[in-house]
Homo-oligomer: A and B are copies of this chain.
Amino acid sequence: QPALRKALEKNFIHQSMSIIVEDAIKKATDVREKVCEWRSPEQLKELLDLELRDGAESESEILQRFKDAIRYSVKTTHPRFFNQLYAGMDPYSMVASFIIEALKPSLYTYEVAPVFTLVEEAVLKKMMELIGWKDGGDGIFNAGGSMSNMYAVNLARYRCCPDIKENGLSAAPHLVMFTSQECHYSISKAAALLGIATRTLLSGAVPFMVNATAGTTVLGAFDPIDEIADICEKHNLWLHVDACWGGAALVSSKHKHLLKGIHRADSVAWNPHKMLMACLQCSAFMVRDKTSLLQRCHSARASYLFQQDKFYDVSYDTGDKSVQCSRKPDAFKIWLMWKALGSRELEQRVDRALAMARYLAQEIKQREGFRLLMEPEYANICFWYIPPSLRNLPDGPELWGKLHKVAPVIKERMMKKGSMMVGYQPHGEKANFFRMIIISPQVSRQDMDFVLDEIHNLGKDL
């Protein structure tokens, strides 16, 4: 491997790693640095020289490209990044990711990924224990929560009408699933992809599943799983719990009540890359079934991978449970971190984040010009900032129409300044509001105060 040998000899890898440690780790997580260095697409294209050409670039040019790519990237690991349902950097998980990238494993057969196959099994076992499935179950990690939710829909459909796999939906009854308005958009994407329909057509339809959300994306709300499970049991409906975001509460004795009844679910999606801070992606999909439903539903029995005459127990070849072929060993990113921290530290992180969320909600209620959308159930704090010029307007369409335009301008200003990143969105009839996401363990009360002060500073003239 001449390129690799040359890179090792010429110290290229060592130099690259120094840049990564300095710029992409230390500087990126330093609160005194900017969270982003905003450039418009047009400006950035000029700065980066993206075109791919016939000739090679020198190693020093390549090192400069690393620096530029890091410089103009958003620092999602920065303490002032509150924009998505993930944030921060766990060093153990990061190093686990590096190992994965260097070893290039793919999880389809035990023979090419022995360690990672067993690691995945161990992590799923632990997560299913926390869910409360005393007899275990089955599962796989996959490329994101949207995929997990899609798997749930497919499994539920397969249990209901196994013939669909071979015969398709044209001959099947019209199937319908139930979910709340607040559910993640991947449920609707799954319905479209699987040919189930995204529009409700109730007449003559056969219900086959209910999706309950544990920690909704915008509001952080929890569906009442126990009550939904009662209905599902009565009508023999598959119960899927989308706990991608809220699942982390299961590690906390104080907060796990939010997911009361989750052990009654047929399937659960839970992303340790969110609140638990594993590196991206780290998304588990778990099924209570122990009759190889996952395998039967998805298998295609490729003879070049899943030979039955191997010299080891081929039940460790997990690839045919997936709709992917190559699959990354994402469980390793949470396994190593869990080993390093232990369940107790994970619990403290979650408790700390949720305590901080309560603190922020209290502050918002006390500060002039801030208005809480609802008491937080979890780590999403949704609120409006009302600039002084609007504070005397009566509650009505004029106020809300004007408020709707406030958050986008403050967002633009915070990004151009690089001081922090907080998301905003409208929601149903509600005008644009901010959504702060508090991820353990990186934030302090000072950070919470900073966010509110900064929003006021950026928006007080509006």
- Of A106-114, A221-229, A287-295, which stretch is located at the interface? A106-114
Q: Are A174 and B166 in contact (CB under 8 A)?
A: no
Q: Given B41, B411, B432, which contacts A313 in the complex, CB threshold below 8 Å?
A: B41
Q: Are A198 and B166 in contact (CB under 8 A)?
A: yes
* A122 in the interface (beta carbon within 8 A): yes
Q: Given B50, B114, B169, B201, which contacts A74 in the complex, CB threshold below 8 Å?
A: B114
Residues in chain B near residue A99, CB distance under 8 A? 20, 24, 66, 69-70
Q: State in angstroms the CA–CA spacing of A116 and B44 once bound together.
A: 11
Give this chain's copy count.
2
Q: Given B3, B50, B313, B336, which contacts A65 in the complex, CB threshold below 8 Å?
A: B336
Q: Are B344 and A54 in contact (CB under 8 A)?
A: yes
* A133 in the interface (beta carbon within 8 A): no
* A369 in the interface (beta carbon within 8 A): no
Smallest CB-CB A-B distances: 3 pairs: A168-B197, A7-B91, A195-B195
Q: A44-B115, A168-B169, A310-B411 are in contact. List 15 more A-B contacts (CB 8 A).
A: A44-B118, A50-B119, A52-B126, A57-B339, A62-B340, A69-B99, A86-B326, A97-B101, A111-B415, A146-B323, A146-B326, A147-B324, A154-B193, A168-B201, A281-B326
User: Can you list 24 pairs linking A and B with CB atoms under 8 Å apart?
Assistant: A12-B95, A17-B98, A20-B95, A20-B102, A48-B115, A50-B121, A54-B342, A55-B342, A72-B114, A77-B103, A83-B111, A84-B106, A86-B106, A111-B415, A112-B421, A146-B323, A146-B324, A150-B323, A168-B196, A184-B325, A217-B304, A309-B405, A309-B408, A311-B409
